[in-house]
Structure 1
Amino acid sequence: MAITVSIELNRDIEIPAGYNEVFDLLADVPRSASHFPKVDKLIDLGGNAYRWEMEKVGVDKHAIQSVYACTYHADKEAGKITWEPVKGEGNGVVSGAWTLNANGDNSTKVRFQTSAQLTVPLPSLLKLAISPVIKHEFNSLVDTYMNNLKKAF
């Protein structure tokens, strides 16, 4: 048995650095991922595709690990970095985008949007109890990521 939890997130932040500097960091997936909490492994699949293996949460046979892969596309002129899921990789399907706008010479407005579906091996009876926990954890990770990115500049 397995349950699937769907998550949609949107964040708007302002980073105290110039557009080019912010874009270059976010478009460099390994560099950007180094600021994301609880990443166990980031594996380069080639062709600007990466598999994210997150740290396991839970105990022994009840531990849950999120694994997903995305292909990234960066368009500096358009101010957009997008990611699309790589089929057949892991237990998650994730897509999204960064949208960047210069706000003067030393500030960049950034919008983060992502949607994810995570399938975990738990009985469907637990979906009502587990879904909010998974969503809260994902929100918490993304909030920490945003704060870490701000601190990086």
Structure 2
Amino acid sequence: MAITITIEINRDFTVPASFDKVFDLLSDVPASGSHFPKVDQLVEIGDNTYRWEMEKVGVDKHALKSVYACQYVSDKSAGSIVWTPVKGEGNGLVSGNWKIKPVDDGTHIVFTTEAKMTLPLPSLLKLAISPVVKHEFNALIDAYMKNLKAEFAS
């Protein structure tokens, strides 16, 4: 028994840092990932592909751990960083991209991601658990964006 929950997130903001500084940090997955909260391990598995192992969320036997892997492709001239899911790695498929462009007061950043998490829970719990999982994922992304904004403001 398992349920799959799909989460889509979009963020759009401007930071007072140069395009080069923003692109260089965001395209360096370990450096960027160091700003993401609740990462247990970020494991390089080759070919600019990384497995994200998140800290467990929940209590005792009801704690869940999200694990997924993505391959990253950066294109500085296009101002894009794209990640695609690696099937067979963990319990999630995560895809998305950064779109980065210079503007008068710094760099404008658009973040888009979609996660499909498969959790070992009975289907009866999907209605109750889905909003909790979505809230937790949004909170992690919000903390990540806050950490990146602070980094780019320094």
TM-score band, normalised by shorter chain: over 0.9
The match for 1:30 is 30
The match for 1:123 is 122
The match for 2:55 is 55
The match for 1:10 is 10
The match for 1:140 is 139
TM-score, normalisation: structure 1 = 0.97
The match for 2:41 is 41
The amino acid that maps onto 2:122 is P
How many angstroms does 1:60 deviate by?
2.2
The amino acid that maps onto 2:135 is H
Output the CA distance in 2 between the equivalents of 1:148 and 1:125. 36
Return 5+ residue gaps in structure 2 as ranges: none
Seq. identity, %: 65
Output the CA distance in 1 between the equivalents of 2:120 and 2:77. 42
TM-score, normalisation: structure 2 = 0.97
SS in 2 for 1:99: strand
CA RMSD of aligned residues (A): 0.7
Return 5+ residue gaps in structure 1 as ranges: none
Structure 1 segments (4+ residues) deviating >4 Å: none
The match for 2:151 is 152
CA deviations on 1:101-150 (whole Å, 9 max, x unpaired) are: 1013x510000000110000011010000000000000010011001001
Kindly indicate whether the alpha-carbon contact (under 8 Å) linking 1:100 and 1:110 is maintained by their aligned counterparts in 2: yes
How many angstroms does 1:13 deviate by?
1.3
